Amino acid sequence: MHVVPSAVPPANQAGLRWLAGFHRDRAACLDSWAAGGLAEIPLVHLAAVQVSATIGIRALRRLEPIGPVLHSVGRGTVEFFVAPTTMVVDRPGVRVLTQGSLLCPPPGRAVERRRAPVWLAPPDGVGRLMDIRRVLDAVAAQYAFFATLPPDYGAPAPCTAVGTWSTTAAVAFVAAGRRATGRTS
């Protein structure tokens, strides 16, 4: 039997077990976390909406986080964990990850590694995930905000995993959302 890392607060152990259940080798995942490391969580029964950290952190403020949200510090991104989806999101600066894996720390504990991912909202063990439409609406609101700023105001830091943010990208993101919903204003 593999132990749950002792440094994880008891309140987060259910989230840890839940997240480890998505790993191909649950025991290896728990061992990695017990050793103070990260574990790759495959995106097979999970998906993630990935945006730049600047947009994601601001969008999270508009949401009541009911599901896991990961900040991948090294990539400069935020990932909102959502149910598996076939939804195609054709908006600049947003990726829906449905394949591959995400490198995750144990819920409820930071990994002592430079630029390691951290949980902004850790899994709670109940299995709740973020609603993809609510996440996309919150992200759209942030891009709309940045699109209203004067060009010399400055842009959020670039996100190499999703693409560089720019005022043009913000305007394109808002326009894509309007086309997708049929709105004109």
* Tens-digit pLDDT profile for residues 45-71: 999 999 999 999 999 998 987 899 999
pTM of the model: 0.78
d(CA 37, CA 102): 13
Residue 97 is encoded by which pair of tokens?
Answer: 């990850």
Residue 185 lies in a domain: no
DSSP letters, 128-176, are --B-HHHHHHHHHHHHHHHHTS-GGG--PPPBTTTB---HHHHHHHHHH
Residue 50 lies in a domain: yes
* Tens-digit pLDDT profile for residues 89-133: 878 889 999 999 999 999 887 777 778 899 999 998 888 999 999
Residue 84 lies in a domain: yes
Residue 118 lies in a domain: yes
Residue 63 lies in a domain: yes
pLDDT at residue 155 tops 90: no
Residue 5 lies in a domain: no
pLDDT band, residue 171 (cuts 50/70/90):
very low
> How many domains are contained in the chain?
1
Domain that holds residue 63: 40-101+110-136
Percentage of residues in the chain having pLDDT higher than 70 = 75
* Tens-digit pLDDT profile for residues 16-52: 999 999 999 999 999 999 888 999 999 999 999 999 9
